């Protein structure tokens, strides 16, 4: 009986879809190697992300669909000048599209995810969240953070840091140890501003002034001025390793933001391709990171934390 049913399903081409959710490519993002359909390495613990997806689908997608896709801004099919189009047309693909944008989720910490940090100050295009909306976004981000890092997002013991607090602490320390002289010595502005993507297009052609949530410019004071003060831009280059828990939190180079666009992974299908692992920009970033980390790790401390701006 069962085999007959399977044969019937197979004959009408339904077998592969049983239990799955039809999305863009027909596959369930939860079944992808990375757990979210964007195979960019942003789920280091390799967790099943379905609980996080459920919180997004029920508690967050309705809010961003209502508040961020208006006025032709962030909808996937928007025709305006904003190209960070993180609100899917089809709710079934809502989560996959949203989590693929570093510009939206940062490292998923509530202290660093622009979906929250950028809107909370109340200065972003007059958008505000109600308390209920903020609670739901927070619950979703905490779940993503917990699952993707394989660590509890909130401390089990009182008085111990949450992953979100640890994120803020290490980002501030790193930012406070950054120096323009190191930025210059490691050639960051020339390497990133003039880095080429396919078709001889340089990153600065589109990102010179921070368009689309990413800045790459050969204007060194401008480039350094932005990445050393604004969290949103900083997080495209650097992120936080939380896989060993809050106490061991550490700033690392953000490879997932580059992989998504360089390889044209969903939702960055139209982004010009480039080699994201070996290029002048990554060489410069590694050198800048190493110099800054040497200062971070010097004891007694030689640099004071600097709080990065959220907007
Ligand atoms: C022809 C214009 C163009 C060029 C050239 C270009 N980009 Fe982009 N970039 C975009 C657009 C549009 C977006 C926003 C849509 C998207 O993410 O696909 C974007 C987004 C990004 C993001 C943010 C991704 C996220 O998840 O938030 C990064 C990082 C990025 N680009 C890096 C680069 C780098 C590095 C180069 C040079 C090697 C480069 N881009 C060259 C147009 C461009």
Q: What is the pLDDT of residue 188?
A: 98
Which residue has the CA at smallest separation from atom 19 of ligand 1? Answer: 212
Q: Give φ, ψ of 239 to 5 degrees.
A: -140, -165
Which residue has the CA at smallest separation from atom 36 of ligand 1? Answer: 203
Q: Mean pLDDT over residues 196-220, rounded?
A: 95
Which residue has the CA at smallest separation from atom 13 of ligand 1? Answer: 212
> Which of residues 209 and 24 earns the better pLDDT score?
209
Could you tell me the distance, in angstroms and rounded to a whole number, from the CA of residue 275 to the centre of ligand 1? 13
> Which of residues 75 and 259 earns the better pLDDT score?
259
Q: What is the pLDDT of residue 157?
A: 83
The three-state secondary structure class of 230 is strand
- Sole residue written with tokens 């993707």: 148
Q: What is the pLDDT of residue 12?
A: 35
Residue 10: its H or E element:
helix 2-11
Which residue has the CA at smallest separation from atom 33 of ligand 1? Answer: 203
pLDDT band of 2, cuts 50, 70, 90: very low
CA angle 116, 122, 217 (to 5 degrees): 70
| d(C-alpha 33, C-alpha 22), whole Å | 17
Q: What is the pLDDT of residue 71?
A: 63
Q: Is the pLDDT of residue 149 over 90?
A: yes
Q: What is the pLDDT of residue 17?
A: 30
Residue 229's CB: how many other CB atoms inside 10 A?
Answer: 15
Q: What is the pLDDT of residue 76?
A: 87
List the beta bridge partners of residue 246. Answer: none
The three-state secondary structure class of 238 is strand
Q: What is the pLDDT of residue 230?
A: 96
Q: What percent of the chain has pLDDT over 70?
A: 91
pLDDT band of 19, cuts 50, 70, 90: very low
Ligand 1 atom at shortest distance from the alpha carbon of 101: 26
Average of per-residue pLDDT values in the chain: 89
Could you tell me the distance, in angstroms and rounded to a whole number, from the CA of residue 212 to the centre of ligand 1? 7
Lowest mean pLDDT among 9-18, 51-60, 75-84, 211-220: 9-18
Which residue has the CA at smallest separation from atom 37 of ligand 1? Answer: 203
Q: What is the pLDDT of residue 59?
A: 97
The ligand 1 site (C-beta within 6 Å) comprises 83-84, 101-103, 195, 197, 201, 203, 205-207, 212-214, 216, 236, 257-258, 260-261, 268, 271-272, 274
Q: What is the token pair recorded at 48? A: 């099943």
Taking phi over 0 as left and psi of -120 to 50 as alpha, with beta for the rest, 125 belongs to left
Could you tell me the distance, in angstroms and rounded to a whole number, from the CA of residue 301 to the centre of ligand 1? 36
Could you tell me the distance, in angstroms and rounded to a whole number, from the CA of residue 273 to the centre of ligand 1? 9
Q: Is the pLDDT of residue 3 over 50?
A: no
Where do runs of H (alpha helix) occur along 91-242? Answer: 94-99, 102-105, 114-117, 131-149, 163-177, 180-185, 188-193, 203-207, 220-227, 231-237
Q: What is the pLDDT of residue 156?
A: 80
Q: Is the pLDDT of residue 287 over 50?
A: yes
| d(C-alpha 78, C-alpha 69), whole Å | 8
pLDDT tens-digit series, residues 65-105:
998 887 668 988 887 777 888 999 999 999 999 999 999 99
Which residue has the CA at smallest separation from atom 12 of ligand 1? Answer: 83
> Which of residues 147 and 23 earns the better pLDDT score?
147
Which residue has the CA at smallest separation from atom 22 of ligand 1? Answer: 214
Could you tell me the distance, in angstroms and rounded to a whole number, from the CA of residue 111 to the centre of ligand 1? 24
Select from 214, 253, 255 the residue to mutate for testing ligand 1; criterion: most ligand atoms less than 8 Å from CB.
214
Q: What is the DSSP letter of 201?
A: E
Ligand 1 atom at shortest distance from the alpha carbon of 85: 15
CA distances in angstroms from 131 to 98, 105, 116, listed in the order given: 21, 19, 12
Taking phi over 0 as left and psi of -120 to 50 as alpha, with beta for the rest, 106 belongs to left
Q: What is the pLDDT of residue 123?
A: 85
Q: What is the pLDDT of residue 143?
A: 98
Q: Domain ranges for the chain, please list them.
A: 42-149, 163-296
Q: What is the pLDDT of residue 298?
A: 97
């Amino acid at each position: 009986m069962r085999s007959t049913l399977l044969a019937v399903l197979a004959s009408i081409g339904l077998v592969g879809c049983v239990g799955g959710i039809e999305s863009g490519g027909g596959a369930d993002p939860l079944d992808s190697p990375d757990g979210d359909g964007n195979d960019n390495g942003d789920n280091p613990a390799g967790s099943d992300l379905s609980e996080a997806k459920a919180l997004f689908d029920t508690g967050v997608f309705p809010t961003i669909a209502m508040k961020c896709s208006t006025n032709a801004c962030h909808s996937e099919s928007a025709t305006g000048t904003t190209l960070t189009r993180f609100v899917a047309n089809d709710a079934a693909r809502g989560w996959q599209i949203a989590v693929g944008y570093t510009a939206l989720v940062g490292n998923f910490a509530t202290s660093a995810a622009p979906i929250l940090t950028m809107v909370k100050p109340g200065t972003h295009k007059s958008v505000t969240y109600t308390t209920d909306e903020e609670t739901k976004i927070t619950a979703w981000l905490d779940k993503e953070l917990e699952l993707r890092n394989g660590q509890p997002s909130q401390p089990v013991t009182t008085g111990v840091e949450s992953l979100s607090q640890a994120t803020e602490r290490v980002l501030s320390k790193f930012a406070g140890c950054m120096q323009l002289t190191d930025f210059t010595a490691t050639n960051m502005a020339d390497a990133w501003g003039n880095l080429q993507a396919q078709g001889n297009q340089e990153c600065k052609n589109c990102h010179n002034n921070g368009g689309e949530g990413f800045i790459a410019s050969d204007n060194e004071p401008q480039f350094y001025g932005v990445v050393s003060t604004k969290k949103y831009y900083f997080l495209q280059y650097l992120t936080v390793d939380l896989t060993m828990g809050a106490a061991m939190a550490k700033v690392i180079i953000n490879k997932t933001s580059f992989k998504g666009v360089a390889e044209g992974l969903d939702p960055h299908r139209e982004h010009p391709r480039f080699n994201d692992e070996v290029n002048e920009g990554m060489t410069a970033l590694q050198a800048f990171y190493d110099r800054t980390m040497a200062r971070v790790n010097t004891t007694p401390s030689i640099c004071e934390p600097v709080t990065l701006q959220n907007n």
